């Protein structure tokens, strides 16, 4: 199998809230085979256990989070010497957590639950309780962060006050009350996967394109 086929074979299945307005656009992948490797897109090291053959990092790009333009969340799928999923980590607002007790469907596809609007990952919906805490960002905080510039893209992406204002106006249209009924299943296709190096270069161009388009809509 080539790298895209490997990513597809172990691709996570993401369960979204019934009213989730935003779905992933592309994925930047990195396959780690060394014992210890630094992630190119997240502040962590990937450490393989003795029984593990490799780890796939899925850097998942959305155009939108309910609070801002541009979203990058991560899932790490570890594969053992028998080519089975041994464990899974996933991002949660700049940190990452082990996905303990995660369901594996069809032998190779971990199932994760995405925070409504914000897209942090959990192994089951109980992580999104008390529900009130996860409703507020989807209503009153829609667009509050404007164009988000994370450390990965500092110096590569710039913004103006007008950019932030356009994002607020645009995202205010998508404010919603989550149902916490995670019945919207999202499966990645082979066309979603690109080497991280390509996605790293593509994201600033994509953001510029999205900004230009929404400014036409909000004016």
Average pLDDT, the chain: 96
User: How many structural domains does the chain have?
Assistant: 1
Q: In whole angstroms, give the CA distance from residue 106 to residue 153.
A: 36
pTM reported for the whole predicted model: 0.97
**For range 59-78, the mean pLDDT:** 97
Count of CB atoms situated within 10 Å of the CB of 57: 24
Range of the domain at 141: 3-218
Q: Is the pLDDT of residue 184 over 90?
A: yes
Q: In whole angstroms, give the CA distance from residue 138 to residue 68.
A: 11
Q: Is the pLDDT of residue 65 over 70?
A: yes
**What angle is formed at CA 22 by the lines to CA 17 and CA 30, rounded to 5 degrees?**
100
E strand or H helix that includes residue 208? helix 196-218
User: What is the tens place of the pLDDT at every residue in 80-123?
Assistant: 999 999 999 999 999 999 999 999 999 999 999 999 999 999 99
- β-pairing, 13-16 vs 184-187, is antiparallel
Q: In whole angstroms, give the CA distance from residue 191 to residue 211.
A: 24
**For range 163-170, the mean pLDDT:** 96
């Amino acid at each position: 199998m080539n790298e895209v086929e490997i990513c597809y074979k172990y691709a996570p299945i993401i369960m979204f809230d019934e009213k989730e307005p935003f779905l992933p656009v592309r994925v930047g992948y990195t396959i780690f085979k060394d014992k210890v490797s630094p992630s190119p897109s997240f502040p962590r090291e990937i450490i393989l256990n003795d029984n593990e053959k490799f780890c796939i990092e899925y850097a998942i790009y959305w155009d939108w989070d309910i609070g801002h333009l541009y979203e990058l969340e991560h899932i790490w799928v570890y594969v053992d010497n028998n080519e089975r999923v041994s464990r899974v980590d996933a991002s949660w607002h700049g940190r990452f957590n082990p996905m303990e007790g995660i369901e594996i469907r069809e032998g190779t596809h971990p199932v994760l639950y995405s925070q409504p609007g914000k897209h942090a990952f959990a192994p089951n919906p109980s992580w999104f309780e008390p529900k009130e805490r996860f409703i507020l960002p989807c209503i009153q905080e829609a667009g509050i962060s404007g164009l988000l510039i994370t450390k990965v893209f500092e110096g590569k992406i710039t913004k103006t006050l007008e950019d932030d204002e356009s994002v607020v106006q645009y995202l205010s249209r998508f404010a919603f009350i989550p149902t916490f009924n995670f019945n919207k299943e999202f499966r990645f296709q082979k066309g979603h996967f690109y080497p991280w190096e390509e996605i790293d270069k593509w994201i600033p161009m994509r953001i510029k394109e999205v900004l230009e388009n929404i400014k036409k809509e909000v004016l």
